[in-house]
Homo-oligomer: A and B are copies of this chain.
């Protein structure tokens, strides 16, 4: 069932059918009704590929993320998809994992599917070596590329980032002001935001005159793994009275460690997470964390993207602040 069939059945030309399809003003009410009726009776759906071919767009944007089952990224994906759909765009999701080769490959895959733009969700997309990011800039030459939680510079590339460094600095300041003398920072990867958070931590240490040596640790993923890791740290004689974790899952692991090791939270050990995810309230005690306002992140990104697609000029870098959420894993001031 195509536009020709409909035109024949309705006794009009294909141009008229097309006009009805596209809500053109230049169709008499009578013919419109007639055409719509025929379409309805035959359950006609316009062919998306043919339309795409003519218009050179299927109103689809590609979303790349390392792992959409991650509790934080899952929220990002959800919100992006919702916003995009609201704007009439469909979402093509592609999870790349953490290996560069895969990222490149799947970015190509999305490009080959003819998406109108690309959104990279998560700072995992910025590599250590500048040349490893070349493929992103290459892509940005062809279509708008938005990076969430990371910085990409160059035309066609846009970034929306939360000031993670500041948030972690504030968390650290807080812990120090609440009496911590031996804070440690736990992170899972050297991603852009991982490095930002670390930087915030170190800045705070510096300002408080605490040596940064041996105070930050790359930690295995998973709650029990993190708990074990901290236990080993303790066994090796490394002492700490506060854990600043780069995400809530690590923080949940720290809480578990404290429970097993019999260390009272927050009296003997303070813990902070990041993201204000479900995990932070699922844990007991509930975890002090930073809310990086993912709704804001996503709606901003999509709204900027829409402007770019409309040919407008938009800032290439947008930064906003997180909000601290104080719960039971940190001491109360005063």
Specify which of A48, A70, A93, A282 lies most central, judged by the most chain B CB atoms within 10 Å of its CB: A282
Are A49 and B53 also in contact (CB < 8 A) when A92-B60, A92-B91, A255-B284 are? Answer: yes
- Write out the residue numbers on chain B whose beta carbons fall within 8 Å of the beta carbon of A256: 284
Choice from B63, B93, B283 contacting A282 with Cβ under 8 Å: B283
Q: Which residues of B contact A52 (CB under 8 A)?
A: 48-49, 52-53
Complex partner residue of A74 from B63, B71, B112, CB under 8 angstroms? B71
A94 and B92 within 8 A (CB): no
Contacting pair B85 A75 (CB below 8 A): no
Q: What is the interface residue range for chain A against chain B?
A: 35 or more
Q: Is B78 in contact with A67, judged by CB distance below 8 angstroms?
A: yes
Contact between chains at A56 and B48 (CB < 8 Å):
no
Given contacts A93-B77, A94-B90, contact A279 B278 (CB under 8 A): yes
Q: Which of A130-170 contact B (CB under 8 A)?
A: none
Contact: B60 with A69, CB < 8 Å?
no
Q: Contact between B284 and A284 (Cβ–Cβ < 8 Å)?
A: yes
A220 within 8 A of B: no
- A112–B39 Cα gap in the complex (Å)? 14
Residues of B contacting A224 with CB < 8 Å? 281
Are B69 and A78 in contact, CB atoms less than 8 angstroms apart? yes
A113 at the interface (CB under 8 A from B): yes
Q: Mark A90-119, 1 if CB is under 8 A from B, else 0.
A: 111111000000000010011111100000
Task: Please indicate the chain B residues that have their CB under 8 angstroms from the CB of A69 in the complex.
Answer: 74-75, 77-79
Interface 1/0s, chain A 307-325, versus B by CB < 8 A?
0000000000000000000
**Do residues B249 and A111 form an inter-chain contact, with CB atoms below 8 A?**
no
What sequence of 0s and 1s flags, for each residue 228-267 of chain A, a beta carbon within 8 Å of any chain B beta carbon?
A: 0000000000000000000001001001100100000000
The yes or no answer to A41 lying at the interface (CB within 8 A) is no
Pick 22 A–B contacts, CB within 8 A, sort by A.
Answer: A52-B52, A52-B53, A63-B93, A67-B78, A68-B77, A69-B78, A69-B79, A71-B74, A74-B78, A77-B77, A77-B93, A82-B95, A90-B110, A92-B92, A223-B278, A223-B282, A224-B281, A249-B278, A249-B282, A252-B282, A255-B284, A283-B284
A-B complex: 4 closest residue pairs judged by Cβ atoms: A74-B74, A49-B52, A69-B78, A48-B114
A interface vs B, CB < 8 Å? 45-50, 52-53, 56, 58, 60, 63, 67-71, 74-75, 77-79, 81-82, 85, 90-95, 106, 109-114, 223-224, 249, 252, 255-256, 259, 278-279, 281-284
